[in-house]
Amino acid sequence: MKNIQAAVTQLRESSRQAVRELGFLETRYRETGCTHSQCHILVELDTRKRLSVGELARILSQDISSTSRSIRPLIDEGVIKVHSDAADGRRRQLQLTPEGMKKVSEINDVAEFQARAALELLSPSDQNIVTKGMGLYAQALSRCNKLAEIEIRPISPNDDDEMSAVIRQVMSEFGAVGAGMSIGDSEVDSMHEAYQSEKSAFFIACKGKKLLGGAGIAPLAGCQDHETCELRKMYILPTGRGIGLGHQIMTRCLEFARGVGYRQIYLETLANMVHAQHLFEKFGFRYLDEPLGDTGHDGCTTWAILDL
């Protein structure tokens, strides 16, 4: 949908209605002798076979104490058993007992009845729309929750070593090494200092103490209009990809560029950085036939620009 606000309003209303309509399902779950939370615990153990309390808590987005309280009655009733990890005797793992497997079967029967009854009221094409849409929405929510754990902030002097390591790792991953590549720029080892001018900034993304990537804005070298900036050194580690982090970093960079008066943003990349190019295209970058300015990065093969 072009109107994102209309989509948000519609999705929120549909979600509220679905939660209300699913209320009866929780009543049916109680017939199995389990709370809604306990049903989720048992289903996850059935799927993943063995998990620690901490792993379960992370999967269910709960705190460990709440998960432990839900698990205790299931252990007492013989639905879940606890045993020590073979590699680490101090690490306790949870596993379903035969009685627990029977409980899961009852839970699945309840859930399947509800889902089947609803889907059978729809046409085959609408069934496909519902199942695909629910899957996409669940994936988006998961990505959103992961992004909530990540902070994007200006680089500090203490980040230099870790950011330079990220740059070198990602550039080596894509073969962006040697002459004509930005991996050889002197700023790689002093990123904070390199982006301290009024119209420059470098932003990094951190999850806790772990730096996942970053990107910067600076005047385009060799450009005389002073209204064109360059997106520089946008690199994200594999652990930070696929959750929308690139979109957030890019948004932060564009906000800065507009805020300090730039009218265009230029970038250089490599043809094999396909996922990065998909991101640039989503933001509206258009490709150029030749490079702009004088960056010294003649090893790059793809150039693009965006009007701000």
What is the CATH T-level fold of the domain 4-121, as seen in this structure? Arc Repressor Mutant, subunit A (1.10.10)
Give the confidence band of 108 by pLDDT, cuts at 50, 70, 90.
confident
Entry pTM = 0.72
Question: In this predicted model, which residue has the larger pLDDT, 36 or 237?
Answer: 237
d(CA 124, CA 103): 31
Q: Nearest 5°: phi and psi at 18? A: -65, -40
Give pLDDT tens digits for 110-143: 888 888 988 999 999 999 999 999 899 888 888 8
Q: Give the domain ranges of the chain.
A: 4-121, 151-307
In one letter, which amino acid is 268? E
pLDDT at 89: 60
Give the confidence band of 186 by pLDDT, cuts at 50, 70, 90.
confident
Tell me the pLDDT of the chain averaged across its residues.
Answer: 88
The DSSP H or E segment spanning 165 is helix 160-173
Give the confidence band of 17 by pLDDT, cuts at 50, 70, 90.
confident
Cβ neighbours of residue 262 closer than 8 Å, sequence gap 6 or more: 199, 217, 227, 228, 229, 308
Cβ neighbours of residue 96 closer than 8 Å, sequence gap 6 or more: 42, 45, 46, 79, 80, 81, 104
Question: In this predicted model, which residue has the larger pLDDT, 32 or 278?
Answer: 278
Three-state secondary-structure class, residue 176: coil
What CATH number does the domain located at 151-307 have?
3.40.630.30
